[in-house]
Structure formats: structure tokens, C-alpha cells
Amino acid sequence: MIPISSWQPIPAYQGPRAYSPAQPDQPIPGPQETFVASPPAPVKSMLPTLLILDSHSAPPSLSVPGPFAVIEHAATQQAAHGDMVSATARAQGFSSRLLEFNTSPKVFQHHFPTMEKVGELWDKAASPQDLRQALYLDALSHRLLTMDYLSHELEDFTQNGVKNCVLNASLGSSLAGTVQTLLESRMGPEAKFMGQGYQSSRFCQAFGLDVERFRSPDPAIAGDETSKLVAHVMALVESTSQAPEFVACQSRYDRAVTGFEQNQNSLVVSASNEGDFKDYLALRTQGQTPPQIPAGYAANILAHPLATVVGATTGSGAQEKVADYSSDYAGVNFYALGETPDAQEGTSFAAPRVAALMAQLRVEHPQASSAQLRNILSGSFGKHLADYQGHQPAPVLDLQAAQEYLIAKSH
């Protein structure tokens, strides 16, 4: 939990921090006392095993408005997010052992006091500094929660001897997603959110902007002031990467991923769904020039170098292309169709297609690293698009070949 009593001024952003993978002989820390787990039974058999993590929403007692109630925005009223992820793996032809793990309430309980304090500070703040501090802690908590959750689960699996398994994590957080969450949780999702309203005046106060220009009926004037606001919010979100709590959390996540992968396991992560962040900003700024977006701004915070990061495609045959919503960055190393059997979309549903195939390959090649398994995937089940339209080039899963292979292995 972020110590509320010791808030510090917002640090200056100096660029993203590169990963420093843990050394192989470095011990992997166990779960913190506040994250007491219900350990899964050790999974060590050579039966293909796919572990599905779902962190769609907080438990009802902890549901709060804003960015903490939902980590992955891909659920529908018809089916739970985790159920759709699992159904996609099954539809791909995976018929072996599939275990689902939902969000640990204790992870949310660890962060919940900070979430409550953030709301209180925002509502009661009397100075621009207090308002900015509330937004800063809002953004920081959102990013910490995502890494804390997956770190906790990875540590738990490693401590309990999980081996030869593939863990699908269809969840994440990006700088772009955090910016969007802050704006929408405080002001609402509509394009003209800068009109009348108490919250818009609070944002103006936080960053020293002109509320009358904000509320101007002239799109050029209102859009220009909106662009300034978005630039301030982007800089504030970026600055959380330098927070000591973030650096420590990132280091913990690095060690957790390294320990899990060293146990002959593979982590598969969805790329995230902020590929259209540029269009989102253009809409928000009403046609005015939005702030420039740094490279990798839409990258999933969980996209570790050892993990297999999966982006989404849409369409089929010669019409298949990288989906506009699929986050585009150098860490993406595979693509798959990002649609469920009932036509839901998202990288959350591309990842389990790749994870299902990797689970089978991991059993057949138990000593292989994830990078070696990706080479097998690419060589035997991968294809390339004729035109990536500016997106990061990477192999695309041949759905038919993968499905036929998985079905054949089930008999």
C-alpha cells in the first residue's frame, strides 16, 4: 500500500526504466504476508496444462468507481471475461487440463485503503498540488495493482512447484490505458467531456488551465485547451515510472517472471488494447493537434522480455490484418485472431489461442525455453501478413493448422 502519510512531490519523468532480469541464482521471494494465498495443488504432470488468470473485477465488497474496479475492459453482460478467455482456448481445439484462477481478494485489500484515500483527496483538495497528487496516486495505484496481482500469482505457482505449464494472463495496463482511465473515470466517456461540470473545473484547477476556454463552444478553442490538459495528464502518468514503489514493484515482477519461466513454464500475455490511442486523443481534442505519443506508450506493463506477448488480428484469409485496437510496440512477438466465438474482440482473446498451442508444445519439449517454443510455433504454425500497415511485424498464428494439430493430439 502506498503510504498516504508520506506523500512526496511528483517526480520528474526521465523516460521508461529498462528491465534488469534477475540472475538465475537470485532467490525468488515468496508472497508477502498481506498476500496470503490459497496454494494451488502442485502441477507437475506431463498432461498439457493451461492456467487461465482472470482479473476482470474486484470482489463486490471492494468494487469502487474509477480505474480500480476493472483492470481489463473486455467483459460483457452475457459472459464473464475469464469464461470467454477459456472458451476461446477450447474453441481453438485445446481439450486438455485448463485451470482458472480469479483475482485474489487479498491483492485488492492491500491496495484498497489507498484507493479510498485517493477519492477523498480529490474531493476535498483545496490546492492544485493536492489535486495533482490525487491524480498521481490514482495512476500509480492502477499500475501497481496490475503488476502486484500477476507477481503474486507467479510467485505462488513457483513456490508450489508448478512445472511444464503455460499461464495465460489476459490482463494488463499501459501508459495510454492509464491516461484514458483517469480521464474517463473523472469526466466520463463522451467526446465533449470538457463542457459544463464540476470535474472539468477541478482538472483545470489542477493544471492551471482556463476553464472558460475549456467550455468554449468553439471547437478550436476548447480542443486546444483539451490538448493541453491531455499533455499534462500524460506527463503525470509517465512520472509514476520513477516512483520508488513502482521501481520496487517492477523489480519484483521481473523476479517472479524469471522464476516461473526457469521452472519449465511459459507466461503468455495479451498485448493490450490501446492501439487506437492516437484516434482517441484526436476525438478528445475535437480535431485539434493532440500531444505526440512516445514510442511504446501503449505497451502492456506486463510485457516482460521472457514472456510471449500476443497481439490481435481481425478478418480472415487475404483480408486478415492487425486489429486497429491491438497495441503496437517492439515487445509483441506473435499475433492471433482476437475474436471470441460470440464475436467479442480484444487481445485478451488472441493470447489464449497461442497459449493453448504452447501448452501442448511445452509437454512435447519440456526442456525448451519459451523463446525456443516460439520458434517452433513460428516455423510450424506461423504465417506472415502481406502488409502489416505500419504495425510491428511478427508471425501470425495459422488458426486452422493449430486447431487441426490440437484436435489430433486430443485423440
Does any domain span residue 345?
Answer: yes
Query: How far apart (Å, rounded) are the C-alpha atoms in residues 131 and 70?
Result: 23
C-alpha cell at 194: 470538457
Domain with residue 107: its CATH number is 3.40.50
Q: Structurally, how many domains does the chain consist of?
A: 1
- The upper half-sphere exposure of residue 372, i.e. CA atoms within 13 Å in the direction of its Cβ, equals 11
Cβ neighbours around 77 below 10 Å, total: 5
Does any domain span residue 106?
Answer: yes
Give pTM, 2 decimals: 0.81
Per-residue pLDDT of the chain (411 residues; tens, 9 = 90+): 333 333 333 333 233 333 233 333 333 233 222 222 333 344 444 566 767 765 443 333 222 222 222 223 233 333 478 788 888 988 888 888 887 776 566 666 666 667 777 878 888 888 999 999 999 999 998 899 889 889 988 998 899 888 889 999 998 899 999 999 888 876 654 444 444 455 778 888 999 999 889 888 898 998 899 899 999 999 999 999 999 999 999 999 999 999 999 999 999 999 999 999 999 898 888 888 888 899 899 999 999 999 999 999 999 888 999 999 999 999 999 999 998 877 889 999 999 999 999 999 998 998 999 999 999 999 999 999 988 988 989 999 999 999 999 999 887
Does any domain span residue 312?
Answer: yes
pLDDT at 86: 87
Does any domain span residue 31?
Answer: no
Does any domain span residue 298?
Answer: yes
pLDDT at 186: 64
Query: How far apart (Å, rounded) are the C-alpha atoms in residues 36 and 59?
Result: 17
Does any domain span residue 346?
Answer: yes
Does any domain span residue 323?
Answer: yes
- State the residue range of the domain holding 258: 37-409
pLDDT at 46: 54
Does any domain span residue 15?
Answer: no
Query: How far apart (Å, rounded) are the C-alpha atoms in residues 215 and 266?
Result: 50
